[in-house]
């Protein structure tokens, strides 16, 4: 066990907290950070790895949600639209500005006038200024910008500003920042049930999945930010009444950029139903998402063949020369949107607004919402928490601070600094003989620690991909609470989705490094190997 984990575990067992947060997705992480920066004593437990729920399975956009304009959710568009700029400022290496192309096609969702007005309103609500404002392009200019687009039926396009990120990295950076501010956050600890004192929740009984131990956490207040699992915990609290969750499934596929060499992220119509994104990312392009009611095991959510085919068909229809086939799909992922159920509405029509429930025992549950709005959601929850904590006591708490809390220890001032730093990394990487995308990958993933990762690989005089990968792993052991190979391959590095070949190629070396780090017996090593092989298979269902 790492010394950091040991220390955090000890504090979970022995300290008494103002607030216990259940769930280490972006919502729970945001609440822990907000509360810690207001000087509350906070604990957070996550039953799997941080971001192992929906917060690693999104479209990875910090966006205003253009489609919510259509549903006339102007307030939501405005709120999340403005949040984009704040989250970008807090982590400019991780939340990056990205121009999005919206082709206008005959018979499509948006006409020329509608698109022009819609994008103008979108920018207006989100206070977008200067060159980031939307531009409307003629058919010819659109084809110059994106030659792969289908020619027939194309009327023109709108080019507008969005931000892209990595959802799991954003979550882990928020968790790490919360820990730096005194929160005690630990993964692989499940809240099994609640403890009560005079009818009020006084904490939770927990199971440490890393060693099988059970222990209690004492807290004045408890917040459930368990995403798709919120109703399960409300049931344990005997408070599952009134509004409930509705889970909708969304899948994505990943192809090599060479097979769909897009110049721009694109948001386009598919024949039946919703619009989908195709987003270039380093050596790949990912395409998604679908939207269907989710049924089944909430701990086992993967894309299936019909979903993969639906996305391939959608992409082939918009980019007909690409002729993508099943064999082009390198990887996939799928997640569950925890929506608030609305009678008579389809999954696509249900609101993405967040909602809080407070039960008679005092359990505060928060669900719905978006990755983009995590800071605002957290602010709302912690406002309620401090109100409850302050009532009848003399304690005073400040207002939300997180708009000024940078999400890295040694932050970048702005996007220009990130670009300069990436050039330094490109130079430093030359001896390793790696493909060109590696500099962007390391900087977007780790920020400034990318330099130390390379230096450490150089210090042991190794070059090549495995040297960098081992050095990344060391960094993750020391600073990012990884416990299992999937934590590293899927959520700390995104390699499972965006560089799956590197996972297949270096799996054994990584497993051995884990064995040494955690002194696994051969049986554990074999179990972890089988888990990873199963994960690889589920991630690429068309290969089986």
Kindly state whether residue 64 participates in binding ligand FAD, applying the rule CB under 6 A.
no
Among 17, 40, 63, 500, binds ligand FAD (CB under 6 A): 63
Among 229, 357, 438, 488, binds ligand FAD (CB under 6 A): 229
User: Which parts of 273-292 interact with ligand FAD (CB under 6 A)?
Assistant: 289
Q: Which element (helix H / strand E) includes 293?
A: strand 292-293
Nearer to ligand FAD, 48 or 494 (CB): 48
The Cβ-side half-sphere exposure at 513, using a 13 Å CA radius, reads 21
Nearer to ligand FAD, 375 or 475 (CB): 375
Only one residue has tokens 């993964």, namely 187
Stretch that binds ligand FAD, among 43-51, 84-92, 125-133, 520-528 (CB under 6 A): 43-51
Q: In the complex, what is the shortest distance from the CB of residue 317 to ligand FAD, in angstroms, rounded to a whole number?
A: 21
Among 337, 376, 380, 492, binds ligand FAD (CB under 6 A): 337
- Report how far residue 416's alpha carbon sits from residue 409's, in angstroms, rounded to the nearest whole number: 18
Q: Which one, of 245, 285, 241, lies nearest residue 261 by Cα?
A: 285
Asked if 290 and 307 touch (Cβ cutoff 8 Å), the reply is yes
Kindly state whether residue 59 participates in binding ligand FAD, applying the rule CB under 6 A.
yes
Among 109, 282, 359, 372, binds ligand FAD (CB under 6 A): 372
Q: In the complex, what is the shortest distance from the CB of residue 290 to ligand FAD, in angstroms, rounded to a whole number?
A: 8
Nearer to ligand FAD, 52 or 402 (CB): 52
User: Which parts of 187-226 interact with ligand FAD (CB under 6 A)?
Assistant: 190-191, 225-226
Q: In the complex, what is the shortest distance from the CB of residue 143 to ligand FAD, in angstroms, rounded to a whole number?
A: 27
User: Which parts of 417-446 interact with ligand FAD (CB under 6 A)?
Assistant: none
- Number of amino acids touching ligand FAD (CB under 6 A): 38
Give the C-alpha distances (Å, rounded to integers) separating 425 from 92, 136, 403, 459, 464.
16, 36, 29, 16, 15
509: left (phi over 0), alpha (psi -120 to 50) or beta: alpha
Kindly state whether residue 336 participates in binding ligand FAD, applying the rule CB under 6 A.
yes
Q: In the complex, what is the shortest distance from the CB of residue 300 to ligand FAD, in angstroms, rounded to a whole number?
A: 13
In the shown chain, the binding pattern of residues 4 to 33 toward ligand FAD, with x for contact by CB under 6 A and - for none, equals: ------------------xxxxxxx-----
Stretch that binds ligand FAD, among 52-60, 117-125, 379-387, 515-523 (CB under 6 A): 52-60
Kindly state whether residue 379 participates in binding ligand FAD, applying the rule CB under 6 A.
no
Kindly state whether residue 469 participates in binding ligand FAD, applying the rule CB under 6 A.
no
Query: In the structure encoding, which two tokens stand for residue 271, read together?
Result: 């024949």
Asked if 34 and 378 touch (Cβ cutoff 8 Å), the reply is yes
The answer to whether the peptide bond before residue 289 is cis (omega within 30 degrees of 0) is: yes
- Report how far residue 48's alpha carbon sits from residue 87's, in angstroms, rounded to the nearest whole number: 25
Q: In the complex, what is the shortest distance from the CB of residue 459 to ligand FAD, in angstroms, rounded to a whole number?
A: 35
Q: In the complex, what is the shortest distance from the CB of residue 187 to ligand FAD, in angstroms, rounded to a whole number?
A: 9
- Report how far residue 265's alpha carbon sits from residue 159's, in angstroms, rounded to the nearest whole number: 10
Query: In the structure encoding, which two tokens stand for residue 458, read together?
Result: 């150089």
Stretch that binds ligand FAD, among 119-127, 278-286, 366-374, 428-436 (CB under 6 A): 366-374
Nearer to ligand FAD, 339 or 469 (CB): 339
Which residues have a Cβ under 8 Å from the Cβ of 132 and sit 6 or more positions away?
Answer: 97, 123, 161
Neighbours of 351 (CB within 10 A): 16
Kindly state whether residue 61 participates in binding ligand FAD, applying the rule CB under 6 A.
yes
Query: Exposure of 356 by Cβ count < 10 A (0-12 exposed, 13-18 middle, 19+ buried)?
Result: middle
22: left (phi over 0), alpha (psi -120 to 50) or beta: beta
Nearer to ligand FAD, 364 or 513 (CB): 364
Kindly state whether residue 46 participates in binding ligand FAD, applying the rule CB under 6 A.
yes
Kindly state whether residue 250 participates in binding ligand FAD, applying the rule CB under 6 A.
yes
Asked if 466 and 509 touch (Cβ cutoff 8 Å), the reply is yes
Nearer to ligand FAD, 61 or 219 (CB): 61
Nearer to ligand FAD, 372 or 456 (CB): 372
Among 54, 402, 493, 539, binds ligand FAD (CB under 6 A): 54
Q: What is the full DSSP assignment across 470-517?
A: HHHHHHHHHHS---SHHIIIIIIS-HHHH-HHHHHHHHHHHHHHHHHH
Chain centroid offset of residue 536 CA: 20
Among 371, 439, 454, 540, binds ligand FAD (CB under 6 A): 371
Q: In the complex, what is the shortest distance from the CB of residue 242 to ligand FAD, in angstroms, rounded to a whole number?
A: 19
Which residues have a Cβ under 8 Å from the Cβ of 299 and sit 6 or more positions away?
Answer: none
Among 335, 379, 447, 494, binds ligand FAD (CB under 6 A): 335
Kindly state whether residue 53 participates in binding ligand FAD, applying the rule CB under 6 A.
yes
- Report how far residue 181's alpha carbon sits from residue 178's, in angstroms, rounded to the nearest whole number: 5
Query: In the structure encoding, which two tokens stand for residue 12, read together?
Result: 């979970």
b/e sequence 298-324, b meaning 16+ C-beta within 10 Å: eeebbbbeebbebbbebbbebbeebeb
Among 118, 280, 369, 447, binds ligand FAD (CB under 6 A): 369
Q: In the complex, what is the shortest distance from the CB of residue 54 to ligand FAD, in angstroms, rounded to a whole number?
A: 4
Nearer to ligand FAD, 421 or 488 (CB): 488
- Report how far residue 368's alpha carbon sits from residue 484's, in angstroms, rounded to the nearest whole number: 29
- Report how far residue 55's alpha carbon sits from residue 27's, in angstroms, rounded to the nearest whole number: 9
Q: Which residues contact ligand FAD (rule: CB under 6 A)? A: 22-28, 45-48, 52-55, 57-61, 63, 190-191, 225-229, 233, 250, 289, 335-337, 369-372
């Amino acid at each position: 066990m790492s010394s950091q984990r040991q220390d955090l575990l000890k504090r979970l067992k022995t300290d008494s907290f103002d607030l216990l947060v259940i769930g280490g997705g972006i919502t729970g992480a945001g609440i822990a950070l907000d509360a810690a920066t207001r000087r509350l004593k906070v604990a957070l437990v996550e039953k799997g790895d941080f971001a192992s729920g929906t917060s690693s399975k999104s479209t990875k956009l910090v966006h205003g949600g253009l489609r919510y304009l259509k549903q006339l959710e102007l307030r939501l568009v405005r709120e999340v639209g403005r949040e984009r700029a704040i989250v970008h400022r807090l982590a400019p290496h991780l939340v990056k500005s990205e121009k999005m192309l919206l082709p206008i096609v005959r018979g499509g969702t948006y006409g020329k006038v509608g698109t022009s007005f819609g994008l103008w309103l979108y920018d207006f609500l989100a206070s977008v200024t200067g060159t980031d404002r939307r531009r409307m392009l003629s058919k010819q200019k659109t084809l110059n910008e994106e030659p792969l687009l289908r020619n027939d039926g194309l009327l023109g396009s709108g080019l507008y500003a969005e931000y892209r990120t990595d959802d799991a990295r954003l979550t882990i950076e928020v968790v790490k920042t919360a820990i730096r501010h005194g929160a005690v956050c630990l993964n692989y600890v499940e809240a099994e049930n609640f403890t009560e004192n005079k009818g009020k929740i006084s904490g939770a009984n927990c199971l440490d999945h890393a060693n099988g131990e059970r222990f209690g956490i004492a807290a004045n207040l408890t917040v459930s930010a368990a995403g798709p699992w919120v109703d399960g915990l409300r049931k344990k609290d005997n408070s599952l009444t009134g509004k409930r969750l509705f889970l909708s499934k969304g899948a994505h596929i990943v192809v090599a950029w060479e097979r769909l060499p897009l110049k721009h992220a694109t948001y386009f119509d598919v024949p039946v139903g919703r619009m989908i994104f195709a987003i270039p990312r380093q050596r790949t392009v990912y395409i998604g998402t679908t939207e269907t009611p989710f049924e089944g095991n909430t701990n086992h959510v993967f894309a299936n063949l019909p979903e993969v085919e639906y996305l391939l068909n959608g992409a082939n229809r918009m980019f007909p020369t690409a002729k993508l086939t099943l064999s082009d799909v390198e990887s996939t992922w799928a997640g569950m949107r925890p929506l608030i159920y609305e009678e008579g509405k389809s999954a696509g029509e249900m609101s993405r607004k967040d909602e809080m429930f407070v039960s008679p025992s005092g359990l505060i549950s928060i669900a719905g919402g978006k990755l983009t709005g995590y800071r605002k959601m957290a602010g709302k929850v912690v406002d309620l928490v401090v109100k409850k904590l302050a009532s009848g006591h003399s304690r005073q708490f400040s207002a939300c601070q997180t708009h000024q809390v940078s999400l890295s220890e040694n932050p970048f001032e702005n996007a220009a600094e990130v670009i300069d730093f990436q050039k330094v990394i490109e130079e430093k990487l030359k001896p390793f003989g790696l493909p060109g995308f590696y500099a962007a990958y390391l900087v977007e993933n780790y920020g400034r620690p990318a330099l130390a990762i390379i230096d450490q690989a150089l210090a042991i005089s190794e070059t090549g991909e495995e040297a960098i990968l081992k050095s990344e792993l060391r960094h993750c052991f020391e600073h990012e609470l990884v416990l299992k190979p999937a934590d590293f391959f899927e959520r700390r590095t995104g390699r499972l989705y965006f560089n799956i070949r590197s996972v297949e190629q270096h799996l054994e070396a990584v497993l051995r490094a884990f064995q040494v780090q955690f002194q696994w017996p051969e049986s554990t090593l074999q179990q972890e190997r089988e888990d990873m092989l199963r994960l690889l298979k589920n991630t690429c269902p068309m290969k089986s």
